[in-house]
Amino acid sequence: MQITQSKQLFSRAQQRIPGGVNSPVRAFKSVNMTPLFITRGLGSKLFDADGNEYIDYVGSWGPMILGHAHEEVVRKLEETLRKGTSFGAPTEGEILLAEIVCEAVPSVEMLRLVNSGSEASMSALRVARGYTGRDKIVKFEGCYHGSVDHLLVQSGSGAMTLGTPDSPGVPAAFVELTLQAKFNDLESVIKLTEENSQEIAAVILEPVAGNMGMIPPEHGFLQGLRDICDREGILLIFDEVMSGFRVDYGGAQNIFGIVPDMSIFGKVIGGGLPVGAYGGRQDIMLQVAPAGPIYQAGTLSGNPLAVAAGLATLGILKEQNPYPDLGQKTAWLSGEFKSAAESAGIPIQTQAMGGMFGFFFSENPVHNYQQALKTDTEKFSRFFRSMLKQGIYLAPSAFESLFVSTAHSEEDLERTAVAFRKALRDE
């Protein structure tokens, strides 16, 4: 595999773009490689600047559930493009997208479109604070909700303590009201609510964690959070930017039967274009301006192109219901990974749900961020490089989830399983 062009482009990029990339994980630093520069995607494949072809399991970090350049999505984009790209005014498409999301996710009675998951997180927490009249929030170590100042709290600083900034430039005062709990640990949440009685506005989490590797909730964890929030008058916010319309058409909340007060979406509902959304109960959302006093705005919110791609994608998902097939694909792939690793005597932990899966090189099960940090990241780095050489494109981090699309064929999956076995033999 030659990546001469990618190396040249990376060198050039570093002259004008910090670190040569526009989002840190793209730099491939954790796997000790030069990042690949992608020229196009089609179906389940990506193609880089050197002409190399890869089976893609990143899917633009989740949204490409139909694969790249899906014919119907492209057609809708072309139709919309000819009519104009941005108006800064209402369009019918915005209503249609809000209607389809609310229909799919019954807990969402009203919805506000924004431009990214980060913006949706920031806005949802502002609404939660305004609605409850409280200032503190609880987040979970390892759950990522975008590069929002008051959510950039150091993951390893311990549960049940006040946060410290995870990045220079974020004043301590911005995160002093952000409390940290441990994922899959109800006791850590109970302790925080006892120590901060009547001060917590919201508990926010990924119902299926996807940013510390894929870690599902343990039995009773989400229901326990729902019970705590009901008892304490706290809003429960599910960040379904990654899991929404991914693990199921109705999101993780539909699978687990838990009704949050607010939900955050992104990725899939824009068909891969920049979009985000937050929504929830009507009485909460009617506090958002201009219906209520809590201000939030955005010129490009509900952008016609993003809305068109989202409508096309969600329409296909609703009509075709690919989730049973996606579930079978990810379960089969996870099973092959586990079987091959066991045969090679290499400890591995795997998880799969809907079109989302993940694995850790670890002897012990992984239920939270602290346990994820103890997994073998050096082994992952070597494994990643071997898989890439064999034409399999995985996330360049041991702490990211992977995604299967409807475009992945049986041949793609079998090739991936063969590459996995060879990568393990290389160990």
Helix or strand (DSSP H, E) at 108: none
Which amino acid is it at 42?
L
Scored b (16 or more CB within 10 A) or e, 197-236 reads: eebbbbbbbbbbbbbbbbbbbeeebbebbbebbeebebbb
In whole angstroms, what is the distance from residue 184 CA to residue 374 CA?
Answer: 17
Three-class SS of residue 365?
coil
In whole angstroms, what is the distance from residue 36 CA to residue 50 CA?
Answer: 9
In whole angstroms, what is the distance from residue 99 CA to residue 311 CA?
Answer: 10
Tokens 């509900």 locate to 302
Which residues does the annotation mark as catalytic?
Answer: 144, 239, 267
Angle between helices 410-426 and 323-343 (to 10 degrees): 20
Check: CB of residue 305 under 8 Å from CB of residue 82.
no
In whole angstroms, what is the distance from residue 5 CA to residue 38 CA?
Answer: 10
- In the sheet that holds 45-48, the strands lie side by side as 38-42, 45-48, 53-56, 392-393
In whole angstroms, what is the distance from residue 304 CA to residue 90 CA?
Answer: 9
Which DSSP state fits 133?
T
In whole angstroms, what is the distance from residue 153 CA to residue 173 CA?
Answer: 12
- Specify the pairing of strand 392-393 against strand 53-56: parallel
In whole angstroms, what is the distance from residue 341 CA to residue 226 CA?
Answer: 37
DSSP letters along 158-181, please?
A: -TTSB--BSSTTS-HHHHTTEEEE
